[in-house]
Amino acid sequence: MSEKITVPTLGESVTEATVSKWLKSQGEKVSADEPLVELETDKVNVEVPSPISGVLGNISVKEGETVNVGSLLGTVDSSGARKDSSFNEVNNYSPPKKEKERVQPKVFEEEKIIKSKKIKAKKSEEPILKLEDEEPLILEQIHEEKEIRKVEKQTSPAARKLANETKVDLSNIEGSGKNGVILKEDIMALMGSKPAPSERKIKYGPEERVKMTRLRLTIAKRLKEAQENAAMLTTFNEVDMSEVMSMRSQYKEEFQNKYQVKLGFMSFFVKACVIGLKNYPAINAEIQGEEIVYKNYYNISIAVGTDRGLVVPVLRETDEMSFADIEKNIGDLGQKARDGKITIEDLQGGTFTITNGGIYGSMLSTPILNPPQSAVLGMHNIIQRPVVVDGNVEVRPIMYLALSYDHRIIDGKEAVSFLKIVKESLEQPKRLFLNI
């Protein structure tokens, strides 16, 4: 009996996928609900499980081919499992190979070995050979780990000073002085030498051509559509992070001990954005045809960078979440995204996006909209900057904020006012708990 393997429903607006990789080979045993094939969609990768236990039969679609929802991928033969469990184990048995000086010879019961082909023994007198259970191999070799002591190379004072100024790695330099002392001339010779080609150039040549994944193609398409279809504009502001950092430093240990999660900056920003969205509903809205759809729920999309590309999982009903709930959900979604286990449901339904380029060191940027949303907030690196406070110049931790928005439904006044609320909420974090 065979069961069909078909392309499952892939979510809203997703009608096709690419067969990324077959996880099992034809004729290989499979268990029920065991992943058989990985499909790559416009948004996420999906694993298709086996409907029954058995043997993977015919594979209808090769890797790299595009399939539609409901298309046949292959079959699973349930009868193959019974054959393998009974017949193959007996008839395909092969005794383990003997290893020299390691495995003791097998012990057989005493028997008469008939060497001559002419003498025929009776069936009742045929000897019965019994194999004793083979004892596992025990490695008796003891590997002693020796401490590897890093021997620091001797360097002359002049060479040491030059190395500190030029940031030269002394470990790659062979000293020409007495007893291998690195001299100033050795560093200068290295600095004047021709650099070696990059490792990628050596491995792949001057150029390498790689086919774009469906996820990367979709990202490129959506970003281009956002630029072409939206009247996109960006406004900026800066926020003094002193109070947030002070509160976080004061309560982070108690917070972690109570909720088993670290207190980060993102929860403050999510809470601040929710207050701003409640005051300016157009920023939480979207255009559908000739209508504006105002969303009275606050699903915040959090941009996460992965090795496969940028994904934007969604925190749902953030206005009803505590700080601990936000931090836990952000951590879970981020880990799922990096592990490639994010689902389509995790990416749908967002009303506003926050992207944090600051974790990569970005000072300032103009983030691109995440359609059909109408606005996105860009966070950046926190840098100590001189600011004027009550007529005095003080050094404060400053972050630049950037709000990109669709000018078709969001006016400049709304965008600037929203960003001002976010700024005030972060500079006075107590406002977050008062919802003002």
Any idea where the domains of the chain sit in the sequence? Answer: 2-81, 232-434
Q: Please tell me the least confidently modeled range out of 216-220, 325-329, 347-351, 416-420.
A: 216-220
CATH, domain 2-81, list 2.60.40.10, 2.40.50.100, 3.40.50.2300, 3.10.300.10 = 2.40.50.100
Average pLDDT of every residue of the chain: 79
Dihedral over alpha carbons 355, 14, 284, 220 (to 10 degrees): 40
Residue 84 appears among annotated catalytic residues: no
User: How far separated are the first and last CA of the chain, in Å rounded?
Assistant: 65
Q: Which of 157, 169, 242, 244 is nearest to 429 (CA)?
A: 244
pLDDT above 50 for 395: yes
Average pLDDT over residues 121-131: 44
Q: Which of 283, 284, 248, 251 is nearest to 266 (CA)?
A: 248
pLDDT in tens, 299-311: 999 988 777 777 8
Distance of alpha carbon 228 from alpha carbon 368, whole angstroms: 11
Q: What is the pLDDT of residue 141?
A: 43
Most confident stretch, 59-68, 187-196, 202-211, 420-429: 420-429
pLDDT in tens, 323-355: 999 999 998 988 888 787 878 788 889 999 999
- Which entry of 77, 346, 406, 407 is annotated as an active-site residue? 407
CATH, domain 232-434, list 3.10.50.40, 3.20.20.70, 3.30.559.10, 1.20.1250.20 = 3.30.559.10
Residue 411 appears among annotated catalytic residues: yes
Q: How confident is the model at residue 90 (pLDDT cuts 50, 70, 90)?
A: very low
pLDDT in tens, 238-292: 999 999 999 999 998 999 999 999 998 999 999 999 999 999 999 999 999 889 9
- Which entry of 84, 186, 380, 411 is annotated as an active-site residue? 411
- Residue entry with tokens 């099992």: 24
